[in-house]
Amino acid sequence: MDRNLIILSKLSSCGRKIKRFRMHDLLHAFCRREAQNENLLHVVQSKNSSYFPQKGFRWVNIQYENFDVSRIHHFTWKSCRSFFSFVRRELNPDFRNVNLLRVLFRYTSYVRIKNNVNTVHLRFLDVENSIELSRTHGFLESRGREGVELSRSWNLQTLYCYRRVSFRRLDEGGKYLKFPQLQHILCLDPFCGNPPNFVHKVGLIRDDDCSKEWITNIPCLKKVHIACEGSKINACIANLAYLEQLEGLKILYSGNTRNVINNSIALLKNLRKLTLYGVGFVCDEKINIRSKLPRLEVLKLHWKPFVGKEWEIQEEVIFCQLIALVIYGYHLKHWKASSQNFPKLGHLYIKYSYKLREIPIGFAEISTLKSIKLWECLPSAVESAKKIQEEQRDYGNNDMVVIKEHTFDGWASEESLSEEETEVDN
């Protein structure tokens, strides 16, 4: 990285972990050329490169939109270890002769596989199919050609599924199934059954499934995504307290009525990252409960999290370890806070804040502040961020930056102001 051969692309919200990086163009071209010379890699970028010679390749990379996967020679399938798809259209490759497949990755396309795939060696799988980790009678018949059984995928480590993942520890033969290496399961539809014991990250699961028995069966769980539709979210959070290693929690609420989190959130003493989608709370009371989480480093509030229009934080409320604060403040108009509330804050992200007129000026006294990022905010909010930047420089913090994107124009700002004046008059 010192020579810019590996370039940092994206950091985590707290700025401590690298989530994505890129290779320098020259280094990337050199590595690809050497891999092709050694018959390890074949890249399909255009019609000219869509021809597969009669020899095997370990890695196949599809980037050409109009490529016909049926043209891949059986010699390639026989030795293929990794299949990468970067096209936007749907692909249905035939993996019948692929006995050594370890990685199946899709970036933007929809990739489906059939139930005739040898999955013993799979490490990483990213598909659109419904997935059954255990051999259960009636599963494949109920889902037709969309379902894939992975009961023999003992080496699987990461599973991304566009639909539903199901698992039952006892298969139809009464055999106890284990996936000792499976650590990450992410599916778009709620998970069905109990995840394997050694899983570290699971999403999506329903709040109805978060019973004490269900939670205690996965003691290694560190991150979980919960889909909430009813009023059981607080009971679910109370059961999550049995997970001593839980560090990340994401709650997505899709109900029609307001769902409010109570004091049960304070039981999660080891929580480092909390994300709330559509979960309501009273600004003066419930939101400040998050300050009782002693290890909380990242707090994300998405989609109408504010029941009221004002968030006032009292001086005695301190987010002692919070490093990153992300606010999607659709309805937030007034925000009152000071540097004492966020003594270690490093990054502030404000997005889609159509009514927030300014950021608390007290943030200028936070010595650890490194960045303020505003996306689709009012010009007045951007100006307040720049004032904070100027004061930070007066204090000697020249590294603090303000990043703004898609700021509203003057007409939108005047419209927001007129709406606020109308409410005051009423």
The pLDDT, as a whole number, for residue 141 is 43
Once rounded to an integer, what is the mean pLDDT over residues 376-392?
Answer: 95
Residue 414 predicted with pLDDT over 60? no
DSSP state of 401: E
* Residue 373 bridge partners (DSSP): 349, 403
Mean per-residue pLDDT for 205-224?
A: 89
Predicted structure pTM score = 0.85
Whether pLDDT at 372 is above 50: yes
Is pLDDT above 90 for 369? yes
pLDDT given at position 19 = 83
Question: What is the model's pLDDT at position 411?
Answer: 47
**At 188, is the secondary structure helix, strand, or coil?**
coil
Of 106 and 55, the one with more pLDDT: 106
What are the residue ranges spanned by the domains of the chain? 1-38, 319-426
The whole-number average pLDDT for the span 119-139 is 78
Query: In the structure, what pLDDT confidence band is assigned to residue 64 with cuts at 50, 70 and 90?
Result: confident
What's residue 186's pLDDT?
92
Q: What is the pLDDT of residues 235-294, one digit of tens each?
A: 888 899 999 999 999 988 876 666 667 777 888 989 999 998 877 654 545 556 666 788
Closest of 325, 303, 295 to residue 313, by C-alpha: 325
Whether pLDDT at 50 is above 60? yes
Average pLDDT over the chain reads: 82
Distance CA(224)–CA(201), nearest Å, equals: 6
Range scoring the smallest mean pLDDT among 14-18, 151-155, 204-208, 297-301: 14-18
CA–CA dist 197, 169 (Å, integer): 9
Helices (H), 2-100: 25-37, 74-79
- Coil vs helix vs strand at 133: coil
Q: Calculate what percentage of the chain has a pLDDT beyond 90.
A: 31
CA distance 42 to 62: 9
Comparing 420 with 131, which gets the higher pLDDT?
A: 131
Q: What is the 3-state secondary structure (H, E, C) of 290-357?
A: HHHCCCCCEEEEECCCECCCEEECCCCCCCCCCCEEEEECCCCCEEECCCCCCCCCCEEEEECCCCCC
Contact 87, 64 (CB under 8 A): yes
Q: What is the pLDDT of residue 127?
A: 87
Nearest Cα neighbor of 324 from 256, 273, 289, 279 is 273
> In angstroms, how far apart are the furthest CA atoms of the chain?
78
Query: Which of 16-25, 256-265, 310-319 is the least confident region?
Result: 256-265
Least confident of 115-124, 370-379, 382-391, 399-408: 115-124
Q: What is d(CA 379, CA 357) in angstroms, rounded to the nearest whole number?
A: 8
The answer to whether 249 and 271 are in contact (CB under 8 A) is: yes
Is the pLDDT at 358 greater than 50, yes or no? yes
**Measured distance CA(225)–CA(249) in Å, rounded:** 6
| pLDDT value for 222 | 94
Residue 361 confidence (pLDDT) above 90: yes
Q: How far apart are CA 241 and CA 215, in angstroms?
A: 9
pLDDT for position 111: 82
